[in-house]
Amino acid sequence: MNYAAYRHFVLVLAAVVLAFASPSFTQEATKGGAADTKKSQQKESQQKSSQTKSPEATKTSETSSAKPKKVEVKGVIAKREADSFTLRDDKGSDVVVTLTSETQVKEKKSNPFRGGKNYGTTQLLRGLNVEVKGRPEGNGVVAEQIKFADVDLRMASSVESRVTPVEGRLGETETRLSQSEQNAQRLSGQIQELSSISNAARGGAKAAQETADAAITGVNESKEKIGQANQRISATNERISSLDDYDVKKTLAINFKVGSAVLSKEVQAELDAIAEEAKTDKGYIIEVTGFASADGGEAYNRRLSQRRADAVVQYMAENHNIPLRRIITPFGYGEKQPVADNATKEGRQQNRRVEVKILTNKGLAETAKAAPPATEPD
């Protein structure tokens, strides 16, 4: 290479270096890099937006496919209709349960090794303790499945067989009372007629006067008979109205050991005494309620209190032949309704109890009082 060529090569290389180092080249390179950065940020923003929308779409899909709400209620059948019944829970609230052709009525069995029984809706009787599962509709429930224990069905059947004849007799009594009132009205009209005849006869002769006096005497006797009949009707109405009312004659509270539902000898003696006393009363029923202290869990204490109440009912039925129709369905309240403070040992001991009450029918008691005493023949 000669000197002239070498010089030319050096000048070209210097021009290239100056061109890359100029401000315009630097600005263009900076703009190009900023554009690339902006495009990258836009692409990441689109990816985040698609990821944000995906959970919302999934949530909307899950909401649209949510299953209908189910409800479960427990209580006693208080009123029975053709296609429905009124259920009263342990808080005293009433729920209307609707029956359909798809409603299943099954046994709430305690033995897991045998199949449960299937029942018809006609066996849903008043006083039956049931568990209802279904869907809400308005203020009520459309039943899909109803379960109850076989012992509760037998008890409800016994109560129904006793209540239905009483209701029939009440209807007959009301009919007779209505007829008596109609007869009293007709008799009152006859009295008015007799009074008119008596007033007309006063202007006649002595014989007519005597006839009038006799008629007045008959009117007075009729009024007395009407008054006596009205008194008997009022007394009968009061007795009928009080047939559904009961007085608490005696209350017995028995206590248990912690976690136990076993009846001690002392407790059995107390139950013997109250059972024999109940048999001497007319129209009595026995109410048995179980309770527990706060020593264990709430669910366990509810089951324990029910076992205690059932133990008392079983002892009285087996050892004193107390008919089941005379015993109200026993109920365990668990820790509810304590009579003492569960924070102390003495309080918890008092709360581990079963209360037994003898109730007497007001209407039958008043009937016994109103009945005239029997007289011996001469």
**Segment 148-176, tens digit of pLDDT:** 998 889 888 888 888 777 777 877 878 88
In this predicted structure, the answer to whether residue 63 has a pLDDT above a threshold of 90 is no
Task: Quote the DSSP letter at residue 296.
Answer: S
> Phi-psi bin for 127: left (phi > 0), alpha (psi -120 to 50), beta?
left
In this predicted structure, the answer to whether residue 214 has a pLDDT above a threshold of 90 is no
Of 45-54, 56-65, 103-112, where does mean pLDDT reach its minimum?
56-65
In this predicted structure, the answer to whether residue 43 has a pLDDT above a threshold of 80 is no
- Contacts of residue 139, Cβ cutoff 8 Å, sequence gap at least 6: 95, 96
State both tokens at 300: 């366990």
In this predicted structure, the answer to whether residue 289 has a pLDDT above a threshold of 80 is yes
**Segment 228-241, tens digit of pLDDT:** 877 777 666 665 65
What was the pLDDT predicted at 176? Answer: 85
Q: How confident is the model at residue 313 (pLDDT cuts 50, 70, 90)?
A: very high
In this predicted structure, the answer to whether residue 373 has a pLDDT above a threshold of 80 is no
Q: How confident is the model at residue 266 (pLDDT cuts 50, 70, 90)?
A: very high
Residue with the bigger pLDDT between 258 and 31: it is: 258
Give me the mean pLDDT over the 52-69 stretch: 51
Residue with the bigger pLDDT between 297 and 178: it is: 297
Of 27-36, 71-80, 120-129, 325-334, where does mean pLDDT reach its minimum?
27-36
What was the pLDDT predicted at 349? Answer: 92
What was the pLDDT predicted at 48? Answer: 55
What was the pLDDT predicted at 25? Answer: 42
Provide the edge-to-edge strand list for the sheet that holds 331-332: 246-255, 353-361, 284-290, 331-332
Cβ count within 10 A of residue 359:
21
Q: How confident is the model at residue 183 (pLDDT cuts 50, 70, 90)?
A: confident
**Segment 326-369, tens digit of pLDDT:** 998 899 999 999 999 999 999 999 999 999 999 988 776 666 55
Beta strands in the chain (DSSP E): 71-80, 84-88, 94-98, 104-107, 118-119, 129-137, 140-148, 246-255, 284-290, 331-332, 353-361
Measure Cα distances from 104 to 85, 124, 286, 287, 337 in Å. Answer: 15, 12, 33, 31, 35
In this predicted structure, the answer to whether residue 90 has a pLDDT above a threshold of 90 is no
In this predicted structure, the answer to whether residue 371 has a pLDDT above a threshold of 70 is no
Q: Which segment, 52-61, 188-197, 231-240, 340-349, is predicted with the most confidence on average? A: 340-349
Of 91-100, 210-219, 230-239, 310-319, where does mean pLDDT reach its minimum?
230-239
CB burial readout 341-351, b (16+ within 10 A) else e:
eeeeeeebebb
What was the pLDDT predicted at 243? Answer: 52
